[in-house]
A and B are shown apart, each in its own frame.
Chain A
Amino acid sequence: NAGVTQTPKFQVLKTGQSMTLQCAQDMNHNSMYWYRQDPGMGLRLIYYSASEGTTDKGEVPNGYNVSRLNKREFSLRLESAAPSQTSVYFCASWGRSYNEQFFGPGTRLTVL
């Protein structure tokens, strides 16, 4: 099992460009999450999907959109990137009984 995978690992964008961050899990988990991590602020929830077919806003959703493509895949889209979106982005899914969240290795995004 690969667990939670994310692509790309690194990305540099110019202000105004768009891109999609991909996430996939092979553990048959129902719920999936997107976080951003900034220095001194821990992880903040952007969007989540409690189950296939549903998505909801988290703490910091502005400037982002998500798509739960199927049970395995949950993508995060930046329509018009801004320097404030420079961050490390993590995708995660809950294990059985919501005992443990499994995280991907992260995508380091820089917006110039």
Chain B
Amino acid sequence: TQLLEQSPQFLSIQEGENLTVYCNSSSVFSSLQWYRQEPGEGPVLLVTVVTGGEVKKLKRLTFQFGDARKDSSLHITAAQPGDTGLYLCARRANDYKLSFGAGTTVTVRA
């Protein structure tokens, strides 16, 4: 059973379009991380959100943490082929173990 549910599972869009991926849980988490994984490589941290309602921006990427700290979203504006990858959300437990969602595979077509 996935503690974190990510949707959609796959997303294919044209360069220049916007996209949003979601990460949801039935339980509250103290902090949530978003990682991006490119083919043949390990995940790389994009951002950590810790405060309910928090919004963080990383260039064209906007991350939101829900007010109740049960959900998060990642929005990419004007997607580029370099944004292609697997986007993973992960919950950091108090013992520092990470629990990952299944991920959203994003493909941006040129």
Q: How far is the CA of A104 from the CA of B44 in the complex (A)?
A: 10
Chain A residues lying within 8 Å of B2, measured Cβ to Cβ, are 41-42
**B48 interface contact, C-beta 8 A:** yes
Stretch at the interface among B52-60, B61-69, B76-84, B95-103: B95-103
Whether the pair A45, B97 counts as a contact (CB closer than 8 A) is: yes
Once A and B bind, how many residue pairs between them come within 8 Å at the CB atom? 49
B97 engages A58 (CB within 8 Å): yes
Contact, CB under 8 Å: B40 / A105: yes
A90 to B9, CA, bound (A): 21
Q: Which of B9, B97, B99 contacts A48 (CB 8 A)?
A: B97
Cβ–Cβ < 8 Å partners of B85 in chain A: none
What are the residues of chain B within 8 A of A42 when measuring CB–CB?
2, 4, 6, 88, 100-103
Which among B42, B43, B88, B102 has the highest number of chain A CB atoms within 10 Å? B42
A43 to B88, CA, bound (A): 9
Kindly list chain A residues whose C-beta atoms are within 8 Å of the C-beta of B99.
45
- Interface residues, chain B, CB within 8 Å of chain A? 2, 4, 6, 9, 33, 40-45, 48, 88, 92, 96-103
Q: A98 and B42 in contact (CB under 8 A), knowing A42-B101, A42-B102?
A: no
Q: Is the CB of A106 within 8 A of B97?
A: no
CA distance A99 to B2 in the complex (A): 23
Residues in A whose Cβ lies below 8 Å from that of B41: 105-106
Complex CA distance for A43 and B99, rounded to whole angstroms? 8
B98 pairs with A101, CB closer than 8 A = yes
A98 — which chain B residues lie within 8 A by C-beta? 92, 96
Q: How far is the CA of A33 from the CA of B98 in the complex (A)?
A: 10
Given A40-B9, A42-B88: A101 and B102 within 8 A (CB)?
A: no
